Structure 1
Amino acid sequence: MTHLCKETLVTVVNGQLPGPAIEATEGDTMWVHVVNESPYNITIHWHGVKQRLNCWADGVPMVTQCPIRPGRSFTYRFAVAGQQGTLWWHAHVACLRASLHGALIVRPNRNNSGGAAGSSPYPFPEPDMEVPIVIGDWWDMDLEQLDKNMMDGYFADSQTASTINGKLGDLYHGCGGAGGDVEEEEDGYVLEVEAGKTYLLRLINAGLYAEYYVKVAGHRFTVVAADASYVNPFVTDVVAIAPGETVDVLMAADAAPGRYYMVALAMQPPEPDPQVPVASTRGMVRYRRSGVVVPGGGGGEDVVPAVVPDMPDMHDVDTTFFFHGNLTSLRRPAPVPARADERMFVTLGVGSICRDGEPSCERSGSNESIIVATVNDVSFQEPPAGAAASLLEAHYYRHRAAAGEELRALPDAPLRVFNFTDEALIPWGPVEARLEPTEKATLVRRFRHGAVVDVVFQSTAVMQSGSNPMHLHGHDMFVLAQGFGNYDAARDVARYNLVDPPVKNTVVVPGLGWAAVRFVADNPGVWYMHCHFEFHMSMGMIAVFIVEDGSSVDISLPPPPVDLPKCDAEESLAVVPDKFGVVQNS
């Protein structure tokens, strides 16, 4: 593709960026055929799909499956029962998510809506039009190299531009200020609207790096859903959306006919957090009247200037905190469990390891050490691509060594206790240096089937102070509370919302703050839990949650599909009986 006067080789699906939107109806079973014609090992993750009793289709390389190798194919089969709303799909390999992604929209089944004939299938008036709005990045570099840079602790790379539905927008005309012709694909996304109609905007943040603030000049939004769960509607003029999140909003075309910019502004924490260049982009909301575009709509005949929204400051962290704090659940799939069986306190931070396995080294930005991201002071070691099987296969067949890694239990609390939000720890230097040393290990935490689990995620200030959008595969989480500063159980448990907490698959943990969640471990399998900032994931802010089988076949993980990709065609796991006495073959 050519953007900003530069041709870049891009890996895409079906020649599209974003990739094709997949639409389904609640209750459908989906078969998605993935043919890998790229030079990379590929898996596809169906973000937010619960994959009940179907961890095999979750699409995490070397965790739930061996990757689809170049020249091979695999069919993902999964149901979307009990879910409706805006989900999405993306590659779960290296940084290829930046160009391999698309919307996954699950519409309500009108036959089960419970309303009168012709009534809205939604818990709000049916909109006149539904529009996916995918916010993403444009990188003019090889994405595999970007991932290698991040794994090497170098995350100062920044995307060249931000995009709305794959379009860079007019901020990048003239090759980013370098002069030259404006390329057609850089003209920006345009949403044509008709006065008096209502539009359901399905917002998806597919970016690698940043939370975004989204506004449309002259218009307000009614927020109606987040992460494919309906929320009690509230009105706002700005949406805050982190990587991995989806937010559904109603926008009434009730402004004076004209042109209004749609702006997506990338956020980052203020200094002394390390500052990297971030990008914003803008598209256009353009009114039509009686089938004719309102004057000022382009074609060199503009007479009415487009209206530009007043955006929050790029360092504003309060707006996203209060936006997410406004989310409450409209419909709950089940009551919030009254109490937890297990509790974990999980710190999210940054540390360093010595290069080449050396026992000691200089740190604080020295080339002798590598910056890593951590969960409870340990950085996740990905299972090697050359292992004989994925972690899920090793778990299913009881082959502990088959995945090629020794597993380490994720502790219930961090290894070190300190003032987690002390801003003096942010800059490199002697204050934070003692907290840097860490190690890499394949972290897992096992839960008995049906256990109610409380997790408090605490962001820390060591070498950075950003937020952390934490995504748990295979489960939704009740977000009980959030706060700035250090979590204090004696004070903060009393603030838990057990009545109508939002139900989320991606929870934004505030920078220099915390979020408390509760989930029911009732979906057997091996599930990824990770930060959805790509640099944090590449650098190791990951753990694996293993949910054990239940007491009967109908609440236990079935065997893998026969065409599940193999790590090595010459390798296979031994035939072993499962816990119910049924012999399964790999």
Structure 2
Amino acid sequence: MAAWVRVLLLFTCLLPGMVESDLRRYKFNVVMRNKSRLCSSKPVVTVNGRFPGPNIYAREDDTLLIKVVNHVNYNISIHWHGIKQLGTGWADGPAYITQCPIQPGQSYVYNFTVNGQRGTFLWHAHILWLRATVHGAIVVLPKPGVPYPFPKPHQEAVFILGEWWKSDVEDVINEAMDLGVAPNVSDAHTINGHPGPISSCVGQGGFDLGVMPGKTYLLRVINAALNEELFFKIAGHKLRVVEIDAAYVKPFDTDTLLIAPGQTTNALLTADLPIGRYQVVASPFMDSPIDIDNRTATATLHYTGTLPSTPAVLTDPPSRNATATATKFAHSLRSLNSAEYPCRVPREVDHHLLFAIGLGLNRCSTCANGYRVVADINNVTFAMPSVSLLNAHFFNIPGVFTDDFPGDPPTPYDYTARRVVNMGTTTGTRLYRVRYNASVQVVLQGTGMIFPENHPIHLHGFNFFAVGKGLGNFDSEKDTRSFNLDDPVERNTIVVPSGGWVAIRFIADNPGVWFLHCHLEVHTSWGLKMAFIVENGKGPNQSLLPPPNDLPKC
């Protein structure tokens, strides 16, 4: 089905005392566009006819008003990935979780403040598989006069990594769901919407970034791909990592970044090599035995003064199963933990949760092989409701959900042992309830059902600290002794390693209903998701406000 979105996004940044000239006004018109740069005439859903969509720029503590008008046959909603939405859960965006989707011909104004946050974020559609083409960057700068905790770069550049299908992505996932099998993998990777030079697509040279010799640049790298972790590398150059998921880290040097879907990484690049052209690559990492698109996307970094005929210096991307490279990068991440940016990791824990996550098989009489691939947390395959969970919670609408999500697997087993069996998962819309300001520890335990696989898990409404990580089954007696409670990395999306576990902690200081799900879109489609209910507190500004008047209805 050829679907076109026409979305109008209008937002204004407001600060007390700002004069008219300081207001930030954007007007985004979403129009249909053919993807000619990939030599395809297939129409795609876009914002302002652009792929990726426009970048949003703001400053810490700015308020954004973003009006989204839907002119397509698909329902749509937009999620502001990594923005905490303190007190503004109605603006978070996941369809049927915090809002009903915006129906064709309707509109909704997302109204929220970027409280105490700065850095690189991602906005994307949060319904169906539309985020394949409906996504862009959110760059939140520090307050005026507040410097970065690293040398000021000469300029900044955004790199958005993505995937491309020749087929309509909704057809891809719908066919897979009907047959009960895995969907077709993507046909290409992209860097800022370009796959790089393609022999069958004349004139498409790929994205090109010009730099001046001796200058330092801040690269804001975002993985907007649907289903694949991606390596990012620039021929011959070192990258100094300074920020992860909009949280500052202790700087370290590397030649390769690893970024999972939904994650962002800021790195400093100094143009200190001979004048010339240098290849930029984005290539997949998959530490599991499944089919992926192995096409490497390419771009170019060129120094001022380079002759157009100068051939680019090439680089070999890491192999698709370069686990050692991935592990080294992950182990290098530590919170900055400075006086200005302290690491406030919870020392005491009120809720100790163990979430066993993975894949499974359920019997299906209409599916291709008699089974349907499903995904689950603690043996629960999440069933999306027909009305917004936040609306049902706020207005006490009965029958929409239960608050009995299990805090542990119902039947403990050897989680990471390879098992190809039918677990017969249960299906339900079950949430986990916590009181306001409670401290929560979640151990995300990978499993070997069907096969072990990495899972990038995203928590809405909060940042969290990754206090521990390991291979095999989590041992509450042994593994907690090695938890890092001094400078663990702060994130909003964390990768559960293949055949292993990761432990996260956060303070539930944001009342509302908050989604937790795998950011591999195929796993979300299969049901690897759940939600927390955070109750209202008793003090001022500790309660969820009523919904806005234009909140979409189901």
Change (3 A) 1:539 1:255: same
SS for the counterpart of 1:83 is coil
Matched, 1:558 2:553: no
Q: Quick one: distance in 2 between partners of 1:436 and 1:134? A: 38
Match of 2:6 in 1: none
Match of 2:77 in 1: 43
User: Taking every aligned residue pair, what percent have the same amino acid on both sides?
Assistant: 42
| Cα deviations by residue, 1:83-141 (Å, 9 ceiling, x for unpaired) | 00000100001110010000001000124x2xxxxxxx100111011101000011111
| Counterpart among 514, 531, 535 of residue 518 in structure 2 | 531
Tell me, yes or no, if the aligned pair for 1:466 and 1:511 is still in contact at 8 Å. Answer: yes
Matched, 1:330 2:356: no
Tell me, yes or no, if the aligned pair for 2:231 and 2:284 is still in contact at 8 Å. Answer: yes
| Cα deviations by residue, 1:130-157 (Å, 9 ceiling, x for unpaired) | 1010000111111222232343432240
Supply the AA of the counterpart residue of 1:41.
Answer: N
Match of 1:483 in 2: 470
Q: Quick one: distance in 2 between partners of 1:495 and 1:501? A: 12
Supply the AA of the counterpart residue of 2:489.
Answer: P
Within 5 A, what are the aligned runs for 1:20-419?
20-111=54-145, 113=146, 121-152=147-178, 153-170=180-197, 172-175=198-201, 182=202, 184=203, 186-270=204-288, 273-289=289-305, 294-295=306-307, 297=308, 302=309, 304-331=310-337, 332=341, 335-355=344-364, 367-384=369-386, 389-401=387-399, 405-407=400-402, 409-419=404-414
| Cα deviations by residue, 1:451-482 (Å, 9 ceiling, x for unpaired) | 10000001111112221110000001111011
Match of 2:30 in 1: none
CA drift of 1:408 comes to: 5.8
TM-score (norm 1): 0.86
Tell me, yes or no, if the aligned pair for 2:356 and 2:447 is still in contact at 8 Å. Answer: yes
SS for the counterpart of 2:304 is strand
SS for the counterpart of 1:488 is coil
Match of 1:582 in 2: none
Unaligned runs of 5+ in 1: 114-120, 176-181, 359-364, 426-431, 568-586
SS for the counterpart of 2:199 is helix
Q: Quick one: distance in 1 between partners of 2:447 and 2:199? A: 39
Supply the AA of the counterpart residue of 1:168.
Answer: P
Supply the AA of the counterpart residue of 2:417.
Answer: D
SS for the counterpart of 1:537 is helix
CA drift of 1:366 comes to: 5.9
Point out the more displaced range, 245-254 or 148-157: 148-157
Change (3 A) 1:407 1:149: farther
Q: Quick one: distance in 2 between partners of 1:373 and 1:215? A: 32
CA drift of 1:552 comes to: 3.2
Match of 1:362 in 2: none
Tell me, yes or no, if the aligned pair for 1:527 and 1:546 is still in contact at 8 Å. Answer: yes
Q: Quick one: distance in 1 between partners of 2:80 and 2:176? A: 24
Match of 1:572 in 2: none
Within 5 A, what are the aligned runs for 1:477-556?
477-556=464-543
Point out the more displaced range, 151-160 or 42-51: 151-160
| Counterpart among 424, 439, 445 of residue 426 in structure 2 | 439
| Cα deviations by residue, 1:318-354 (Å, 9 ceiling, x for unpaired) | 3222212211111446622211011001111111223
SS for the counterpart of 2:43 is coil
| Cα deviations by residue, 1:292-343 (Å, 9 ceiling, x for unpaired) | xx12x3xxxx2x4311123221112232222122111114466222110110
The higher radius of gyration belongs to 1
Aligned pair count reads 516
Supply the AA of the counterpart residue of 1:396.
Answer: F
Q: Quick one: distance in 1 between partners of 2:265 and 2:303? A: 23
CA drift of 1:269 comes to: 2.0
Q: Quick one: distance in 1 between partners of 2:499 and 2:78? A: 32
Tell me, yes or no, if the aligned pair for 1:150 and 1:539 is still in contact at 8 Å. Answer: no
Q: Quick one: distance in 2 between partners of 1:3 and 1:224? A: 33
TM-score (norm 2): 0.90
Match of 1:116 in 2: none
Supply the AA of the counterpart residue of 2:236.
Answer: G
Q: Quick one: distance in 2 between partners of 1:254 and 1:69? A: 51
Tell me, yes or no, if the aligned pair for 1:95 and 1:146 is still in contact at 8 Å. Answer: no
Tell me, yes or no, if the aligned pair for 1:150 and 1:538 is still in contact at 8 Å. Answer: no
Supply the AA of the counterpart residue of 1:341.
Answer: D
RMSD value, Cα: 1.6
Supply the AA of the counterpart residue of 2:446.
Answer: S
